[in-house]
Amino acid sequence: MTNEMCLASRTFIEADQIQFAEVSGDRNPMHLDAVKARRTQAGLPVAHGVHLVLWALDAAVRKDVARSPMLRLRANFKRFVALGETVALMLAKQTEANVQLHFVVAGLTVAQISLDFGSPVRTSEPILGEDVPAPATPRDLTLEEMEGLSGRLSFVSSPDTVAAMFPAASGWLGSRRVAALAATSLLVGMVCPGLHSIYGDLTVEACNEQDPQDRLGFQVVSTEPRFRLVRMAIEGGGLAGSIKTAARMPPAAQASSSELSGAVEPGEFAGSTALVVGGSRGLGEVTAKLLAAGGAQVIITYRVGSADADAVALDIRAAGGRCETLAYDTGRPAGAQLASLERAPTHAYYFATPTIFRAQSALFERARLDAFLDVYVDGFARLAEALRAARSDVSLFYPSSVYVEERPRGMIEYAMAKAAGETLCSEMNLAWAPLRVAVGRLPRLPTDQTASVIETKFPSPVACLLPFVRATQSWPRRAKKEIPQ
């Protein structure tokens, strides 16, 4: 059989995450915390990969696809499955000896499972090591600390408890093997690599085990620093095999205010009140710190990350700068949200952004374009109009992107929205003078959304941003200074 057939479909929601986290013990914030997840490569909470596997096995048994005993399971995770996305489980191939399942989101295969059938032929050899209790918070290990790591990780839940969540799969595979699969999520997400982990590949065989205890033995057999890959051998619960996982780069850390103090002249931006939308992290954070180092009164906004905004404000104040925070949602009317400000901003910087990178098979998706337009065009227009009502000569900075011209694969909607934003800014400069908007096409710079598994060299954000900050601050006091293009 080669024609794909849909066995089931599902849209994972927050309640699903919480339930699987309770059963498996994998409470990695990339699955449960929307604020922390936005600082990962995913950009938003994603489903546990092993949850997908167990759901698929449950569906395959119910559809009478998996009947014979399982000899071997291989799972490969290619892309994240975000909460709210609908994933289809497709039967890609079926023979008497093998079944292949694909997980499809928006036309793209995001994960695959291959099942080989047959009776267990090997007896597992227990992996030696100290007993490891399930941690309450994910470990944050370096690659050096992972080398040679081993132990016997206790299951968080009894096999019967896990079986209640996946009854069909447990009836076919056995509750201990299902619980052992769930424990691999605990191992990767909480123990090794832990906090900054990405589950890559799983290969296990059913075996006759000698250890009757509910635990998963593991041993790191190799690490590859260049690609930050970690390979582990695992054994327990009637399974033995290996896991390949990645230790992703931690969230991008921007320079502190004290480190940036020498980049600008003291008092260079004195007398200005600068609103930095999206100033709680990334390029907005760098801009806020540069402005404060130059003597500006800074107001940084956040939509959900109040703790991040408070940390940036505290850093600025510790270096002698002035900064306050403001909750602000670009999707709502701007005037009411800015009403609490004691002084009308003289300058504003617009670093609001939704999740940028999202895999898709279609050349163009209207819904994705609408999401970008709502932020990059409508949201900016609402802000500029509200600021102009309070001060007619307000100066704004609109960060565009080199992607407007380069248009990398899968970024067409982003490029279109940024191009539309540039057109809007040009019209504002013509129709709303003395209001002024400086537009800068920024290269790819180090932020949460540009992070990858391997370490990447980026241009200096300070070197890229500072000319635009100075040009924006020059208006209206030094209006004839050229705006860089």
Strands 108-117 and 70-77, sheet pairing = antiparallel
DSSP 450: G
Q: Identify whether 484 is part of a domain.
A: no
Q: Which two tokens stand for residue 120?
A: 């267990």
Look up the domain containing 75 and give its range: 5-247
Is 223 in contact with 146 (CB distance < 8 Å)? yes
Could you please report the per-residue DSSP string of 326-390?
Answer: EE--TTS-HHHHHTT-SS--SEEEE----------SSS--HHHHHHHHIIIIIIHHHHHHHHHHH
User: Omega before 476 cis (within 30°)?
Assistant: yes
Which pLDDT does position 447 carry in this prediction?
Answer: 67
Q: Which residue has the tokens 């995913």?
A: 42
Which pLDDT does position 485 carry in this prediction?
Answer: 39
Assess whether 239 and 272 both reside in one domain: no
Which pLDDT does position 163 carry in this prediction?
Answer: 96
Assess whether 229 and 329 both reside in one domain: no
Q: How many independent structural domains does the chain possess?
A: 2
Distance of CA 17 to the CA centre of its chain: 16
Residue 364 to residue 411: CA distance in whole angstroms: 9
Assess whether 243 and 261 both reside in one domain: no
Which pLDDT does position 464 carry in this prediction?
Answer: 94
Task: Specify the 3-state DSSP secondary structure of 299.
Answer: strand
Is 89 in contact with 101 (CB distance < 8 Å)? yes
Q: Identify whether 38 is part of a domain.
A: yes
Q: Which two tokens stand for residue 401?
A: 């992107």
CATH of the domain at 50: 3.10.129.10
- Point out the domain boundary residue: 247, 271, 303: 247
Assess whether 25 and 123 both reside in one domain: yes
Number of residues that make up the chain: 485
Assess whether 243 and 271 both reside in one domain: no
> pTM, whole model, 2 decimals?
0.82
* Burial tier of 131 (Cβ tally within 10 Å: 0-12, 13-18, 19+): exposed
pLDDT in tens, 393-441: 999 999 999 989 988 777 899 999 999 999 999 999 999 999 999 999 9
Q: Which two tokens stand for residue 223?
A: 């690490």
Residue 41 dihedral angles phi and psi, to the nearest 5°: -60, -30
Assess whether 404 and 264 both reside in one domain: yes
Which pLDDT does position 1 carry in this prediction?
Answer: 42
Assess whether 278 and 182 both reside in one domain: no
Which pLDDT does position 203 carry in this prediction?
Answer: 98
CATH of the domain at 317: 3.40.50.720
pLDDT in tens, the chain (485 residues): 446 899 999 999 999 999 999 999 999 999 999 888 887 878 889 999 999 999 999 999 999 998 899 999 999 999 999 999 999 999 999 999 999 999 999 889 999 999 999 988 777 778 878 999 999 999 999 999 999 999 999 999 999 999 999 999 999 999 999 999 999 999 999 999 999 999 999 999 999 876 788 999 999 999 999 899 999 999 999 999 999 999 988 877 889 999 998 999 999 999 999 999 999 999 999 999 999 999 999 999 999 889 999 999 999 999 999 999 999 999 999 999 999 999 999 999 999 988 776 666 678 889 889 999 999 999 999 999 999 999 999 999 999 999 899 887 778 999 999 999 999 999 999 999 999 999 999 988 766 655 554 556 778 899 999 999 999 999 985 433 434 43
Is 244 in contact with 316 (CB distance < 8 Å)? no
Q: Which residue has the tokens 């590949």?
A: 201
Which pLDDT does position 459 carry in this prediction?
Answer: 82
Q: Identify whether 63 is part of a domain.
A: yes
- Point out the domain boundary residue: 217, 247, 277: 247
Residue 6 to residue 12: CA distance in whole angstroms: 17
- Point out the domain boundary residue: 247, 273, 304: 247
Within a 13 Å sphere around the CA of 103, how many CA atoms are in the beta-carbon half? 30
Assess whether 269 and 169 both reside in one domain: no
Which pLDDT does position 240 carry in this prediction?
Answer: 94
Host H or E run for residue 311:
helix 306-318
Which pLDDT does position 2 carry in this prediction?
Answer: 46
